[in-house]
Each structure stands twice: as C-alpha cells, then as structure tokens.
Chains A and B, each alone.
Chain A
Amino acid sequence: SQQGEEDPQALSIQEGENATMNCSYKTSINNLQWYRQNSGRGLVHLILIRSNEREKHSGRLRVTLDTSKKSSSLLITASRAADTASYFCATRDTGRRALTFGSGTRLQVQP
C-alpha cells in the first residue's frame, strides 16, 4: 500500500521559477529518497537524505527532512523546461528492504 502522500498532485510554473514539492509519510524510516520519472516509465534517482539529516543539496536540488512531522520537501531552483516530469518521494522504512513510494507530483515547467 502507498503510505506517502505528496502535494501538490500537479504543479505548473514558468521557467526560472522555483518548484517546491512536499511529501508526508507515516512510519519510521532509515532514509527518504526522491525520484524523477519521465513519460510514466523508468525512474531516476535524484537524492537521498538519511533520517539523521535535516537538509541536503545536490546542484539545483534542495531536500529537507523533518522526522518529527514525518515530512520532506524537494525544492528545484531556477527550473527549466527539461525539469518537466513526475517526482516521487520514497521511504526506506525501518526493517524493510523495498521502497515505499508516494503518489507523486506532476511538474510542468512552461518555457
């Protein structure tokens, strides 16, 4: 079953603007990861944040994690049309091997 909920479900912005997506989860986790998916097919790993970390950066990506609120956010700065995709958070729950995915945010960046 899907435990992660993401909001917004869909986001449309102009090129150059920042995009923020949020993810909430319910269980205890080892880490939280964000993935990107183009055209409903293969997923690409973007960034992983461990449960003892609060913020992490990778290029134009910034991820925050608040384990007390069981929530995370993904910020994409200076967005580009090529960032158009669906973005999923996924948690590595304590004691589990597989990832538990959220329902995703569809991001549309208008050129």
Chain B
Amino acid sequence: GAGVSQSPSNKVTEKGKDVELRCDPISGHTALYWYRQSLGQGLEFLIYFQGNSAPDKSGLPSDRFSAERTGGSVSTLTIQRTQQEDSAVYLCASSLTGQSSYNEQFFGPGTRLTVL
C-alpha cells in the first residue's frame, strides 16, 4: 500500500513569510509525528498526534510553529514568519498507534525547506 507522503518535496521561501507543509500518513495509522533534521544532524522531535487526543507539542521550538491534524488523517505543519534557522528537512512519520512502545514509525520522504 501507499506509504507516508509529504508535500511539497522542496520549498524555498523568503525570511518572514509563512509556510505550510503537508503530511499524508498511512491509512489506518492513528499516530503521526513531525520531526525536523538540520544539515548533517539527527532528527529533532517537534509534535505528536494520537487519535483525537490533545497533541504533544513539547518539541515545538517557538510559538511560530504550529500543527494541526484534521479528521485524524492529514496533518499540516505551519511555520509563521520564517527565519533562516528554520531551514531544514521536515519529516513526518506515522505508526499504527503511539500507545505501544513497539510500533514501528514509517517515515515520509520529507520536505526540504530553505529560508533565504
């Protein structure tokens, strides 16, 4: 079946503009995660959604970052007033459920964001 998809694959924007990144999880997966990866680094957790529960936003670096998940499926990560340090690859992952410690997370191909 289809994996996790993300769009756009690349986004170039000017400093100060807002951007929206989209993630389509695997059908039936109730858990969705956003991570970001700066050049040459590991992944940094941003936010986690599990079903209809309140999201875990503990990884969001500032109030310029927000995310929503509509209908328990598609998620949008929004970055307002982008800064150059926001440049990174933003990766989305989904799993059957986040409530089991042993569910594999399936990753999308990522969106490479470049803020000029």
Show the binding face of A for B, using Cβ within 8 Å: 1-2, 4, 30-31, 33, 35, 40-45, 48, 50, 88, 90, 92, 97-104
Contacts and interface: CB of A to CB of B under 8 A. Distances in A.
Interface residues of B, number: 29
B15 to A, nearest CB: 23
Contacts of B39: 40
B50 A97 contact: yes
Interface stretch (B40-48, B64-72, B73-81): B40-48
Contact of A103 (B42, B56, B108, B110): B42
A92 B101 contact: yes
A88 B105 CA distance: 14
B42 A88 contact: yes
Contacts of B59: 98
A43 B91 contact: yes
19 contacts: A1-B44, A2-B41, A31-B101, A40-B37, A40-B39, A41-B89, A41-B109, A42-B110, A43-B91, A43-B93, A48-B102, A88-B43, A90-B43, A97-B48, A98-B59, A99-B33, A101-B43, A103-B41, A104-B41
A98 B48 contact: yes
Contacts of A45: 104-106
B108 A42 contact: yes
Given A42-B109, A99-B43, 13 more contacts: A4-B42, A33-B104, A40-B89, A41-B109, A42-B91, A48-B102, A88-B42, A97-B33, A97-B56, A99-B45, A101-B35, A101-B42, A103-B42
